[in-house]
Amino acid sequence: MINVLIFDDERSTRELMDTLSIFEGLEPSLQKIVNENRDNICKIELRGKNDASVNLPTFSLSEPDVMRDLFETSKKKPKKRRGEISEAINYINKYYKEKITLEELAFNCDLNPNYFCEMFKEETGKNFSKYLMDIRMAHAKMLLRDTRKPVYEIADDVGYQDARFFSQQFRKAVGLKPSQYRELMRVPEKINSVVSI
């Protein structure tokens, strides 16, 4: 029996199974093994991060269709990871007040951070940081418009411990300081009260 171990501590076994792109570089080596050992059985094990492993079904090296299918599969584009990205989006929408890092989300989705970034942007049209900031700013606008809370409390409510940094980020995203935005949004309220007198 020929045993082939493919180890990648950056990717999960699920990612390895999805892409099988690791076979592209190994194709010449595996083909040589096949040619020299046609009567043997081949066992392939994928080992990913956290020592998780998957054993692919054993097959006879004399079955050329199996090898061809294996190599053809390795050249296909990876499956979309919409389920994991949707879970990450739901998590951000629910826990935007907390400290959320890209690495933490990628780990929870069992994805490599770079692959997670790529899939996240493909799914949302924004990178992780921009998406998180937009969610926080949308909530901040609502709080500025609908409450009389001080800006430092709103900053804390939407995940910023530093009110000054929050104000800088708000101005960058909205084009106004939080206090200016609040005043602008309260103008219709003042006009309505004047009209009703």
Residues of the chain above pLDDT 90, percent: 45
What are 55's two structure tokens?
Answer: 């054993």
β-bridge partners, 57: none
Residue 196 belongs to a domain: no
pTM of the model: 0.56
CA separation for the pair 119, 122 (Å, rounded)? 5
pLDDT number for residue 22: 43
pLDDT number for residue 33: 57
> Using one digit for the tens of pLDDT, what is the confidence trace for 124-176?
899 999 999 999 999 999 999 999 999 999 999 999 999 999 999 999 999 99
Q: How long a stretch of residues is the chain?
A: 197
Q: Which range scores top for mean pLDDT: 108-122, 138-152, 175-189?
A: 138-152
For residues 120 and 138, membership in a common domain is answered with: no
Handedness of CA 25, 31, 36, 39 (dihedral sign): positive
What range defines the domain where residue 31 resides? 2-75
Residue 197 belongs to a domain: no
Of 90, 78, 39, 77, give the one whose Cα is nearest residue 60: 39
For residues 97 and 137, membership in a common domain is answered with: no
For residues 63 and 17, membership in a common domain is answered with: yes
For residues 53 and 94, membership in a common domain is answered with: no
Question: How big is the CA angle at 103 (ends 100 and 106), to the nearest 5 degrees?
Answer: 100
Question: For the chain, what is the domain count?
Answer: 3
Q: Are 114 and 127 in contact (CB under 8 A)?
A: no
